[in-house]
């Protein structure tokens, strides 16, 4: 009886803990037969603090709006764009109007859907922009503006278009050819971002939300885009011995470029060397690996100074790790097995068969750093992570069954929860970057994953977004016909 009483008490405490995190619950009825064709797109108005959730299915857009205190303000419905414009790339906000920007599969034509959230009206029109000789790279919604980055075919000439409201305000062209090092091919950056002029080609530049606890699946890309502090930063790790950063100032659209050397390792066959980088908190984290060892360095991006170096030889223990050397083995569903590796040289050997990644997340006074990599599956040819903390092997969101929705926080969570990788975890003091002993606390994604496992909700109605210093989980309860917002930090 005592055992049952204790279990009941723990369950009650868990339920109460979750209930205290409820920010909002709202009655809403969604058509259940569309659950596999629905995506959720959150929009935060940076000026007013208002929040809008757009539940987009195959024929309608349902908009739910809330105050910055999560009080329901209004709800409206409008038809989704007809025809070929199925990919949502971002938004702008002007007072009570939200402009959703869509593109076609080839990402050469664009349409804007303007929704008046107060008057429950909408309109749409095609934008007079066609990327006939350019490759669309990425888009960024930042401070109620939309930035579209593209590149002219077979060149290192980049264009940045800025939209305010529905209209293009600025188009800036930058030629990055001179940024390439002398021993690089003339079209090296172009080659990194573009293979052939096919309409179906997808670029490998990756948008990173550096405030998320990202998985190695996301951070293992060689070319990344960050947006923070009124700037866009492009990072290139195609050269194994350095990281090239191009920073575009969003106030005047000028750019600067800098190279940061990777750490030193014993000389070996250059083809057997891998490196990558990650930006977090105005610091550049770099990792380089070959068969002789690994080197992890941190640079201050404001002063360009080297702050810390941690290096290990293949025959040595990794003295700055806070977890075992772990590998996820291919499995099914939630039963993906994990095994522990014994020696540093085992980790090095496995990392050199795939792609390196770094992830950094701030937890209290410490930084939690994941160092490791992902591997290409020999059976499918797709990139599969070799395992991250709390991994599951089934998708948690629709992933854009009908629309491709640019919710980078939700994508980070889905990749985090499903990742499989070879990795080890480290803890460092965020002030002096000294190694800290002990175990890390569960991060918000860990808590969200645990909670989602206790509820029944259509996966396609889930969304996650960040507000200030905490994360918000949105989900629909089919039984209650309610939409919930819960806080996790």
Tokens of 318: 């990794």
Is the dihedral angle over the CA atoms 26, 31, 35, 40 positive or is it negative? negative
Residue 486's pLDDT band, with cuts at 50, 70 and 90, is: very high
List 109's β-bridge partners, or say none: 130
Residue 36's φ and ψ, nearest 5 degrees, are -90, 0
Structure tokens at 140: 């960024």
Tell which wins on pLDDT, 238 or 383.
238
Asked if 92 and 164 touch (Cβ cutoff 8 Å), the reply is yes
Whether residue 202 has pLDDT greater than 80: no
Whether residue 341 contacts residue 327, with contact meaning beta carbons closer than 8 Å, is answered with: yes
Give the separation between CA 112 and CA 120, rounded to whole angstroms.
17
**Cβ count near 46 (within 10 Å):** 13
| CB distance 246 to 234 below 8 Å | yes
Q: Return the domain boundaries, the chain.
A: 38-442
Tokens of 151: 């590149």
Model pLDDT, residue 326: 84
pLDDT digits (tens, 9 = 90+) for 459-472: 777 888 888 889 99
Classify residue 178 by its DSSP letter: G
pLDDT score of 215: 85
Query: pLDDT of 10-62, one tens digit each?
Result: 343 344 344 448 999 988 877 664 455 567 889 999 888 899 999 888 788 99
Percent share of the chain, pLDDT over 90: 50
Burial class (CB in 10 A: 0-12, 13-18, 19+), 257: middle
pLDDT of the residue at 267: 78
Q: What SS3 class is residue 105?
A: coil
- DSSP 8-state assignment for residue 435: B
pLDDT of residue 18: 45
Q: What is the dihedral of CA 9, 14, 16, 22, to 10 degrees?
A: -170
H/E element, 417: helix 408-418
Quote the distance between the C-alpha of residue 259 and its chain's center. Answer: 24
Task: Give the C-alpha separation, 82 to 253, whole Å.
Answer: 35
């Amino acid at each position: 009886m005592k055992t049952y009483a204790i279990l009941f008490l723990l369950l009650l405490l868990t339920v109460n803990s979750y209930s205290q995190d409820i920010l909002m619950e709202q009655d809403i009825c969604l058509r259940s037969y569309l659950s596999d064709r629905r995506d959720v797109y959150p929009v935060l108005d940076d000026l007013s603090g208002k929040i809008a959730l757009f539940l987009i299915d195959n024929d309608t857009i349902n908009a739910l709006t809330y105050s910055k205190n999560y009080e329901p303000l209004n709800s409206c419905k409008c038809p989704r764009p007809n025809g070929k414009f199925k990919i949502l790339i971002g938004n702008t906000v002007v007072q009570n109007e939200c402009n959703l920007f869509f593109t076609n599969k080839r990402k050469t034509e664009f349409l804007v859907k303007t929704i008046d959230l107060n008057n429950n009206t909408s309109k749409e029109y095609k934008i007079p922009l066609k990327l006939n000789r350019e490759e669309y790279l990425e888009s960024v919604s930042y401070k109620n503006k939309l930035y579209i980055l593209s590149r002219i075919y077979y060149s290192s000439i980049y264009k940045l278009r800025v939209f305010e409201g529905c209209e293009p305000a600025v188009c800036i062209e930058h030629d990055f050819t001179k940024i390439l090092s002398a021993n690089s091919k003339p079209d090296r950056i172009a080659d990194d971002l573009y293979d052939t002029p096919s309409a179906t080609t997808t670029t490998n530049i990756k948008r990173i939300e550096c405030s998320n606890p990202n998985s190695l699946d996301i951070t293992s890309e060689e070319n990344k885009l960050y947006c923070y502090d009124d700037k866009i930063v492009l990072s290139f790790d195609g050269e194994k011995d350095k990281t090239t950063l191009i920073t575009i100032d969003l106030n005047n659209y000028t750019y600067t470029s800098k190279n940061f050397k990777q750490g030193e390792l014993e000389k070996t066959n250059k083809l057997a060397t891998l490196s990558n980088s990650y930006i977090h908190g105005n610091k550049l984290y770099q990792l380089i690996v070959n068969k002789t060892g690994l080197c992890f360095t941190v640079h201050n991006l404001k002063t360009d100074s080297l702050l810390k170096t941690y290096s290990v030889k293949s025959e040595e223990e990794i003295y700055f790790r806070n977890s075992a050397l772990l590998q996820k083995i291919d499995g099914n569903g939630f039963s993906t097995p994990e095994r522990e590796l014994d020696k540093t040289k085992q980790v090095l050997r496995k990392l050199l068969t795939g792609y390196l990644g770094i992830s950094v997340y701030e937890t209290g006074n410490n930084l939690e750093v994941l160092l490791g990599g992902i591997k290409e599956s020999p059976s499918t040819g797709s990139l599969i992570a070799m395992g991250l903390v709390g991994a599951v092997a089934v998708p948690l969101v629709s992933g854009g069954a009908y629309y491709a929705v640019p919710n980078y926080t939700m994508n980070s969570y889905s990749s985090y929860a499903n990742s499989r990788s070879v990795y080890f975890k480290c803890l460092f003091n965020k002030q002096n970057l000294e190694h800290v002993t002990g175990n890390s606390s569960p991060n918000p994604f860990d808590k969200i994953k645990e909670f989602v496992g206790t509820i029944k909700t259509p996966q396609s109605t889930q969304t996650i977004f960040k507000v200030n210093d905490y994360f918000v989980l949105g989900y629909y309860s089919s039984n209650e016909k309610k939409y919930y917002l819960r806080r996790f930090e």
